[in-house]
Amino acid sequence: MPHFSEHQHADYRTLADKWNYAWKQYNGEYVDVGTIRDFLHQKPRESQKSYEHRLDNSDPIMHFATAIDGLCGILFQKDDTQREWGELGDPDEEGSIAHYLSHNADGEGTNWIPLMKEVAIRQTVMHRVWGLVEGVEVSEGETLSEASVKVINPQSVVNWFPSKGMPREVLVKEKRDVRESVLDEPNEKDVFTLYTLDGWRRFYMDEGNVNGETVTSEVELGSGKYTYYATSKKRKRVLPIFMVEIPMPRFVGYLLALKQNHIFNFKSARDFGSTILSFALLNLVGDHDRIAKNAKELEKGQNFVSQDPEARHKNEFITPSGDHLAEAGKILEKDIEHFYLNAFKEYGDAAAQRTATEIRLESKTGIEAFLTLLVSSLDEFENQCFLRILQVYYPDSPEKWGSAFVKRSSDFQPRDEQNALEKMKEAFFGDREPVPVDAEHLTEVAKRVLEYYGIPVEDTEKLKRFIEDRMNIIPEAGRGDE
């Protein structure tokens, strides 16, 4: 009877290969020595030697990563995120829990904000990500380590139950070195961690000999207990591990990864053809012995060959036409152009199908639809982390569990800042009747206009005095005489 660690969720069986494919295309692993053969395909009638040359010399393509980073960059360039750390303290106050987490969110030195950027990237590539909050380790009342957040790719979570709603059991699979000392020989195994509502346990499967028969059994690596609740009312238990995904009707990340791989293969063939054409073929004429002698000299690096002066036909170079490579180059340029156009459009269109009745779209590309979904799922990930982290530090104070939260803006409409400032300048400083405001507000308006045009305002008080003087000089403007 198979061990439960061999069971896989139906979603995992359907999507795991696609998750791996898209992630390797993003992070560049697709060109690694151990994986490139899965992505760079041997052409029909291509010799093994030519294929091996392309495996060694094909130029990596990173259009997919550039598009993903560009999308997430739009999200993180906005600075209007509302983040409250609540009972975790002030992130700027050294010694507070918030300060520690903001500078070491995952226990490995990654700051909180970069970790959230990593979550956004993984969600954009694979549409799903798992988060894990690990609690405080203590020994005889002494804290050994703080809470931390781990980001887990979906291809590492092989099974969970139930399929709908919050899972009560989750099984994570990962490669780990299970040796106990550097003195031991490296021993990498498939290690499983089972999370239940009461605690976790970690193990790997090992084969042994019992009475002459091969028996597979669990080798335990560790275990622990915890208690987490869904809300401060403590009515429903939850796991420290949770899933967040972007609800889209098609796997856009995987489709774009496939398109990038097409460009990768097409460019590799085009580059190889260009390389071959840069070496003209020498057609040797003569008997077998003379041709063999000339070929041997050429292999040594000699740049000329001898020929029987009485030969009826002369040695000559054969230079194939490279016209087809020019056409191939044009096709490649078009493919790359279409990739970037499709990347933003596909994410926008797929998200719009999911959210047409939920959000108002005004962009021609609809990319705001995707960014709205991404912001929502990213907020969910971070708030799920806050909920569990507060329970780690304040297990007996449920009134504190909701004190930390994050809320990002979902407004991604492009703004014409120059046009807005011109209107502002006209409204407050124009020839027509200006808006009646005091000197302090006028100073702020003037400061924004000046800084937009590259004129730094180093002395705000001096600018304010200048405006006050102007207000007194022009009393008919309705400001200085009131």
Give the contacts of 212 (CB within 8 A, at least 6 positions apart). Answer: none
Indicate whether 358 pLDDT > 60.
no
For residues 63 and 17, which has the higher predicted lDDT (pLDDT)?
17
Indicate whether 360 pLDDT > 50.
no
Distance of alpha carbon 22 from alpha carbon 64, whole angstroms = 9
Report the percent of the chain where pLDDT is more than 70.
74
- Least confident segment among 2-16, 151-165, 256-270: 256-270
pLDDT class of 348 with cuts at 50, 70, 90:
low
Report the percent of the chain where pLDDT is more than 90.
48
Domain that holds residue 115: 7-157+230-252+369-407
Tell me the one-letter amino acid at 392.
V
Distance of alpha carbon 319 from alpha carbon 272, whole angstroms = 16
Distance of alpha carbon 143 from alpha carbon 317, whole angstroms = 78
Per-residue pLDDT averaged across 391-414, rounded?
Answer: 89
Tell me if residue 9 falls in helix, strand or coil.
coil
- Domain final residue, candidates 361, 378, 407: 407
- Domain final residue, candidates 358, 379, 407: 407
Highest mean pLDDT among 23-37, 283-297, 346-360, 428-442: 23-37
Per-residue pLDDT averaged across 45-66, rounded?
Answer: 89
| 146 and 74, same domain (yes or no) | yes
Q: What is the pLDDT of residue 459?
A: 82
268 and 59 Cβ atoms separated by less than 8 Å: yes
Supply the angle between the helices 10-27 and 112-126 in degrees, to the nearest 10. Answer: 110
Q: Which of 232, 163, 171, 160 is nearest to 201 (CA)?
A: 171
Q: Is residue 212 part of a domain?
A: no
pTM given for the model = 0.74
For residues 437 and 295, which has the higher predicted lDDT (pLDDT)?
295
| 92 and 143, same domain (yes or no) | yes
Tell me if residue 25 falls in helix, strand or coil.
helix
Q: What is the pLDDT of residue 481?
A: 42
| 441 and 388, same domain (yes or no) | no
Q: Which of 223, 172, 229 is nearest to 197 (CA)?
A: 229
Indicate whether 250 pLDDT > 90.
no
Per-residue pLDDT averaged across 369-379, rounded?
Answer: 90
Indicate whether 428 pLDDT > 60.
no
Q: Is residue 181 part of a domain?
A: no
Q: Is residue 201 part of a domain?
A: no
| 47 and 110, same domain (yes or no) | yes
Distance of alpha carbon 208 from alpha carbon 190, whole angstroms = 16
Q: Is residue 118 part of a domain?
A: yes
Distance of alpha carbon 418 from alpha carbon 452, whole angstroms = 8
pLDDT class of 59 with cuts at 50, 70, 90:
confident
| 427 and 403, same domain (yes or no) | no
| 382 and 470, same domain (yes or no) | no
The 10s digit of each residue's pLDDT in 168-227 is 999 999 999 999 899 999 999 999 999 999 999 999 999 877 777 778 889 999 999 999
The 10s digit of each residue's pLDDT in 314-346 is 766 556 665 655 666 676 677 777 677 666 667
Distance of alpha carbon 288 from alpha carbon 479, whole angstroms = 105
Distance of alpha carbon 219 from alpha carbon 207, whole angstroms = 10
Q: What is the pLDDT of residue 478?
A: 45
| 63 and 127, same domain (yes or no) | yes
Q: Any idea how long the chain is?
A: 482
Q: What separation, in Å, do the N-terminal and C-terminal C-alpha atoms of the chain show?
A: 91
pLDDT class of 83 with cuts at 50, 70, 90:
very high
| DSSP label of 45 | T
Judging by beta carbons within 10 Å of its beta carbon (0-12, 13-18, 19+), is residue 135 exposed, middle or buried? buried
Strands, E, within 211-293: which ranges?
A: 213-225, 228-229, 237-238, 241-245, 281-283
Q: What is the pLDDT of residue 119?
A: 97
Q: Is residue 22 part of a domain?
A: yes
Tokens of 9: 């969720």
Q: Do you find a cis peptide bond into 162, omega within 30 degrees of 0?
A: yes
Distance of alpha carbon 7 from alpha carbon 27, whole angstroms = 28
Domain count, the chain: 2
| 20 and 106, same domain (yes or no) | yes
| 402 and 431, same domain (yes or no) | no
Indicate whether 67 pLDDT > 60.
yes
Q: What is the pLDDT of residue 467?
A: 77
Q: Is residue 426 part of a domain?
A: yes
Instruction: Give the angle subtended at the CA of 351 by the CAs of 349 and 357, to the nearest 5°.
Output: 105
| 86 and 126, same domain (yes or no) | yes
| 391 and 429, same domain (yes or no) | no
Q: What is the mean pLDDT of the chain?
A: 82
| 373 and 472, same domain (yes or no) | no
Indicate whether 399 pLDDT > 60.
yes
- Least confident segment among 261-265, 346-350, 389-393: 346-350
Q: Is residue 170 part of a domain?
A: no
Distance of alpha carbon 24 from alpha carbon 35, whole angstroms = 9
pLDDT class of 362 with cuts at 50, 70, 90:
very low
- Least confident segment among 5-14, 125-134, 211-220, 395-404: 211-220
| DSSP label of 449 | H
Tokens of 340: 């970037």
Q: Is residue 171 part of a domain?
A: no
- Domain final residue, candidates 358, 377, 407: 407
Per-residue pLDDT averaged across 352-374, rounded?
Answer: 60
Per-residue pLDDT averaged across 399-425, rounded?
Answer: 74
Q: Which of 70, 65, 67 is nearest to 23 (CA)?
A: 65
